[in-house]
Amino acid sequence: MWVRTRAVVAGGVVLVLVAVVGIWLVIRQVGGQLRLPLSSRTCTVQADGRVALDADQMANAATIAAIGIQWKMPERAVVVALATAYQESGLRNLAGGDRDSVGLFQQRPSQGWGSPEEIRDPRYAANRFYAALKKVRGWERMRVTDAAQKVQRSAFPEAYQKWADESEVLTRALLGHATGAVACTVGRDPAMRGAAAATALTRGLSLDWGLAAATTAADLTGLTVPAADERRGWRYAHWLVSHAHDHGVKRVRFGGLEWTARDGTWNQVGDDATGDRVVAEVFAEA
């Protein structure tokens, strides 16, 4: 009887292990498809296609795109980076993952990507990804999934390709090829307000875009960002809207259009005098 009981227990343990491994394989294969329901996706991106994301995903995508431009990488590199983060984390800054994987790209400290704390910084993670991609000979001529695989060395090398279309839509919008293409709704309780929000925005623009020229308004409730041309203006405007929730952005105006957190949409303004500047306003102190 004892031997039989032990055999039954052992068999049960094996079945549990098989189930766990099976679940893990499914999660790795579908990757970022396991995301929140549509009701939680507060941002829409429309640029020859449509993508819906929640606030965290949108902010992470905007930072990944901006870091790629800082690296002076071709726009296709941004597509590859976004498709990789889509698959690995669903564009979320995960605290863990398979074995010791961490962050947006599920980079592993044991494989030399950096410390867990470093990898959890989206800017650090994006910088490390672009640095690795740049070393891949001929990546520009590869399919999105092949270029990503050269960096990631995933057990599912074809998985990145299914995110290519969404990543191309995001890239067109976030790099300024579309007008008023990123629209997010922000609730009544943003993560930041007032001077703290304006300061965080200025710092974020500097870190993501390398901009040191963003000027904070005297009342500490907004800032202006010089834009050398319309395309750059929309890059910064879309970045600001992408970070609206986590940085308390209330209003963004550029190119005759204005986005507001209340409406969550871009609308024409008749008396726009921003010229070659992107103007942003943050929520005042409560």
pLDDT tens track for 264-282 = 999 999 766 667 899 999 9
pLDDT at 165 over 70: yes
Cα(218)–Cα(12) distance, integer angstroms: 68
Tell me which residue has tokens 């041309």: 229
Q: Which two tokens stand for residue 144?
A: 């999105």
Q: Which two tokens stand for residue 61?
A: 């995508």
pTM of the model: 0.84
Cα(153)–Cα(132) distance, integer angstroms: 12
Cα(133)–Cα(136) distance, integer angstroms: 5
pLDDT at 2 over 60: no
Q: Is 282 helix (H, G, I), strand (E, B) or coil?
A: strand
Contact (CB, 8 A) for 213 and 230? no
Bridging pattern class, strands 266-268 and 249-254: unpaired
Q: Is 205 helix (H, G, I), strand (E, B) or coil?
A: helix
Q: Of all helices (H) and strands (E), which one includes residue 267?
A: strand 266-268
Cα(170)–Cα(274) distance, integer angstroms: 25
| DSSP tag of 161 | G
Cα angle 127, 139, 31; round to 5? 65
Kindly report, residue by residue over 108-147, the tens digit of the pLDDT. Answer: 999 999 999 999 999 999 999 999 999 999 999 999 999 9
| DSSP tag of 285 | P
φ and ψ at 189, to 5 degrees? -125, 75
End-to-end CA distance of the chain: 70
% of the chain at pLDDT higher than 90: 72
Contact (CB, 8 A) for 239 and 208? yes
Among the ranges 27-31, 103-107, 272-276, which has the highest mean pLDDT value? 103-107
Poorest-confidence range of 88-102, 200-214, 230-244? 200-214
Contact (CB, 8 A) for 151 and 106? no
Contact (CB, 8 A) for 266 and 183? yes
Cα(77)–Cα(93) distance, integer angstroms: 20
Q: Which two tokens stand for residue 101?
A: 């994987």
